[in-house]
Chains A and B, each alone.
Chain A
Amino acid sequence: QKEVEQNSGPLSVPEGAIASLNCTYSDRVSQSFFWYRQYSGKSPELIMSIYSNGDKEDGRFTAQLNKASQYVSLLIRDSQPSDSATYLCAVKPKTSYDKVIFGPGTSLSVIP
């Protein structure tokens, strides 16, 4: 059974701090990795895609991928109260015929 796990929340950080969200996956041959943000009562919104080992930065967000360790993380710098949401890690297997697998999500609360 292919699985995606995320660090249990809720995670609380003060405004301006770095929030670190972690995700591990079981399928070693997974190829594509995504982070989604979901506000309460809303649908998930794609914030980052990462396909290669290393870091990928987009504004205040940095995604880090380590395929050897089967680990992907999301760092949010200078956290703002508007970042308070649930963050979902998603993994797409190697073949297009396998479904995207979502982790359970980590709830982040940024305290002003």
Chain B
Amino acid sequence: KAGVTQTPRYLIKTRGQQVTLSCSPISGHRSVSWYQQTPGQGLQFLFEYFSETQRNKGNFPGRFSGRQFSNSRSEMNVSTLELGDSALYLCASSATGDSPLHFGNGTRLTVT
């Protein structure tokens, strides 16, 4: 079974630009969560989608948004990029119930 796939793996953007990251969950997983991780920091929860609906949201500004499609694939968008948005963005999927999260390899975003 294929794991969680995130694209692209690396991105370099300029301040003020916007970016879209993509995540394909494990087949059959309907929940997709997004996390931001900066050097030396823990995982900061961005949001979770389930069956195309945002189920939970973290404490990030409105510049961070996401969506989920009917095939459970998810995208997150960051508009008006700031230097502080440079981070590793992780997507994780899970089945329902007590199942754990399974992470993709992440997208490393650098904002210059």
Contacts and interface: CB of A to CB of B under 8 A. Distances in A.
A41 B10 CA distance: 12
Interface stretch (A16-24, A59-67, A90-98): A90-98
B105 A43 contact: yes
Given A44-B90, A96-B96, A90 B101 contact: yes
Interface string A3-46: 00000000000000000000000000001101010000111111
A100 B42 contact: no
Interface string A76-95: 00000000000010101000
Given A43-B106, A97-B55, A99-B33, A49 B45 contact: no
Interface in A94-108: 96-100, 102-105
A49 B48 CA distance: 21
Contact of B42 (A32, A51, A92, A105): A105
B33 A102 contact: no
A32 B102 CA distance: 14
A102 B41 CA distance: 12
B52 to A, nearest CB: 15
A100 B33 contact: yes
B83 interface: no
A102 B35 CA distance: 11
Interface residues of B, number: 19
Contacts of B88: 41, 43
Contacts of B102: 46
A43 to B, nearest CB: 4
27 contacts: A32-B98, A32-B100, A43-B88, A43-B103, A43-B104, A43-B105, A43-B106, A44-B90, A45-B103, A46-B100, A46-B101, A46-B102, A49-B100, A88-B42, A88-B43, A90-B100, A90-B101, A92-B98, A96-B96, A97-B55, A99-B45, A99-B48, A99-B55, A99-B56, A100-B33, A100-B100, A102-B45
